[in-house]
Structure 1
Amino acid sequence: MKWTEVCVHTNAEATEMVSFHLQDLGAEGVSIEDPEVLQQDWTQGYGEIVALNPADYPTEGIRIKTYLAEMVDIEAFCRELQMRLTDLKGMGIDPAPATISTQEIDEASWANAWKQYYKPVRITEKLTIQPVWEEYVPESEEEMVIRLDPGMAFGTGTHPTTSLSMKLLEKYQPEGARVIDVGCGSGILSIASARLGAKSVLALDLDPVAVRSSKENIALNELEETISCRQGDLLIGVSQKADLVVSNILAEIIVLFTHDLPRVLEPGGTFIASGIIEEKEELVLQSLREAGIEVVETIYQEGWVAIAAKKW
């Protein structure tokens, strides 16, 4: 089967919104090529990753790519995408250079080439992500391994937003917690919660591709009895209570359900929010204040923000 790669050359500020519009137009996921990763010292802290090839990254800005099946009208997709990139300027976000390019990709070569760059990586003191095609032996009994097959639609779990989420989960999730994961994606945070001792996890995502991917990864980790996964629109229709709610999605989406947190969270419960660029931090903080949820910690990594907040 042939696929078309659609590539948007943009900048760090516009990354989240461009990614959102690609998926809103029907893309099942995106990959992000950010040259900043070439400057990171991967030998420090946790984890190990193989050498990255500078030729795979732009010299300036960021490339965001998605892959569309051959039955998609590529010209119509790109026209609508270009209009949305233009509209971003009206929202105060300049996506420059905002160029769109396309090329045909053979499925067999595309599906496997990227795997050479993805190795087991230690994300926090306790949590390690292991791609299913790699062998890995934990270094200690305390280390908790998350087996992951990101497939077509999702990243490898090593993006700063995921790392920040997992660090706050490790710090704030109580033993035996009831957890809700809003916008579960590949299911990685649901699995992390279960590994950290959650009694039960409800994983929700509006995207049926995400629900399918999450269920597959939950099964890979043999956690079907702990994690239930279903299609859901944020916290709409969720009646169960939670000791912790976690969400790694766009700031603009987080603020759509913060008003629902007091209804879902138990007294003393924690909300962990990630996927927030620094420029949108105050938007989320204000939304939490209006909901009566108190921020207890904010952490940062490479221009991204994660927040831990409490319902007292």
Structure 2
Amino acid sequence: MAWIQLSIIVEEALAEPLSDALMDIGAVSVTFTETGDQEIFEPEIGTTPIWDQTRVLGLFDAEVDNATILLALTQLMPQIQPSAYKFELIEDKDWIREWMDQFKPMPFGDNLWIVPSWLEAPNPDAVNLLLDPGLAFGTGTHPTTAMCLTWLDQHPPLNKSVIDYGCGSGILAIAAAKLGAKQVKGTDIDPQAITASQDNAQRNSVPIAFALVKDFNAEPVDLLIANILAGPLKELAAEFQRLVKPGGQLVLSGLLASQADDLIAHYHDVGFNLNQLDTRDDWGCLSGFKF
């Protein structure tokens, strides 16, 4: 079936009331997107930030009359001019196929690939991770994940013990295991991340112990990788100092490149020599050793 999509750009204060109004008049879904003028990299914990200028998209059954929608919105949201609303007919598609076609095998470094499970590996002799996009963050498409995967390809953790802290989909833990680590553990605060990581590890036939942070127990390891945000990375410095062996390696990503110097100094105070390893877009990756 076809759909009618209504689109409008509103100020932050109007986004939620407009969403409620759209649902009240029969929208099957409402989506917020940014307008290209503002990016929110690291929101405060417990907040749901909305852009100063937000594009609100409402999806309706194509049989609904545009004029009826417009009249109802004018009554519910009189502060918005009717001329600001834009309507578009969306033809029906095979949305599953459309979604699957977005994802292709991706190389990281010389020998590491992420391959969606429904596709053939371009290089069967490479280290291939079977990973499907899902509920948890981490499919290799984000620069922070890509930088960590590239680092792992360049520094295979042969016979090392590894922790993936903030495991998301488990992608970094699985890569470490398939690149020769002798023991890998992963942890996250999100139960969905643990479920996704366990499923992905099973699909890749690698034994990895995943647990929520509140249940996570680990002895100090040779390598700890954390791809989270700068705020949590700063708060976790003392914990990472405990979890990494003397002389062990630490890789941090998820930070903005502009936050690197502050984190390098902060981690030096707890016993790590870190350096800016890589930058992609506005993101950075740090690597170094515990002294």
TM-score higher than 0.5 here? yes
In structure 1, C-alpha distance between the alignment counterparts of 2:249 and 2:240, rounded to whole Å = 9
User: RMSD in angstroms over aligned alpha carbons?
Assistant: 2.7
Equivalent residue for 1:6, pick from 20, 31, 38: 31
Following superposition of structure 1 onto structure 2, how do residues 1-312 of structure 1 map, counting pairs within 5 Å?
Answer: 4-9=29-34, 14-17=39-42, 24=46, 81=48, 84-85=49-50, 96-97=52-53, 99-104=54-59, 110-138=95-123, 141=125, 143-223=126-206, 225=207, 227-233=208-214, 238-312=217-291
Amino acid across the alignment from 1:103: G
Amino acid across the alignment from 2:129: I
**TM-score, reference length from structure 2:** 0.72
- Which is worse superposed, 191-200 or 277-286? 277-286
Q: Residue 119 of structure 1 contacts residue 130 of structure 1 at CA under 8 Å; is this kept in 2? A: yes
Q: SS in structure 2 opposite 1:125?
A: coil
Q: Residue 118 of structure 1 contacts residue 156 of structure 1 at CA under 8 Å; is this kept in 2? A: no
In structure 2, C-alpha distance between the alignment counterparts of 1:109 and 1:16, rounded to whole Å = 32
Q: Residue 138 of structure 2 contacts residue 170 of structure 2 at CA under 8 Å; is this kept in 1? A: no
Q: Residue 135 of structure 2 contacts residue 193 of structure 2 at CA under 8 Å; is this kept in 1? A: no
Seq. identity, %: 29
Q: Residue 139 of structure 2 contacts residue 145 of structure 2 at CA under 8 Å; is this kept in 1? A: no
Relative distance call for 1:299 and 1:283 in structure 2 (3 A) is same
In structure 1, C-alpha distance between the alignment counterparts of 2:97 and 2:184, rounded to whole Å = 31
Q: SS in structure 2 opposite 1:14?
A: coil
Relative distance call for 1:10 and 1:254 in structure 2 (3 A) is farther
**TM-score, reference length from structure 1:** 0.67
Q: Deviations over 1:240-265 (max 9, x none)?
A: 11100001111111111111222111
Q: CA deviation at 1:229?
A: 0.9
Q: Residue 177 of structure 1 contacts residue 199 of structure 1 at CA under 8 Å; is this kept in 2? A: yes
Relative distance call for 1:113 and 1:242 in structure 2 (3 A) is same
Q: Deviations over 1:52-103 (max 9, x none)?
A: xxxxxxxxxxxxxxxxxxxxxxxxxxxxx4xx44xxxxxxxxx553x15243
Which runs of no fewer than 5 residues in structure 1 stay unpaired?
26-80, 86-94
Amino acid across the alignment from 1:274: S
Q: Deviations over 1:37-62 (max 9, x none)?
A: xxxxxxxxxxxxxxxxxxxxxxxxxx
Kindly name which structure, 1 or 2, has the bigger radius of gyration based on alpha carbons.
2
Relative distance call for 1:116 and 1:207 in structure 2 (3 A) is same
Q: SS in structure 1 opposite 2:259?
A: helix
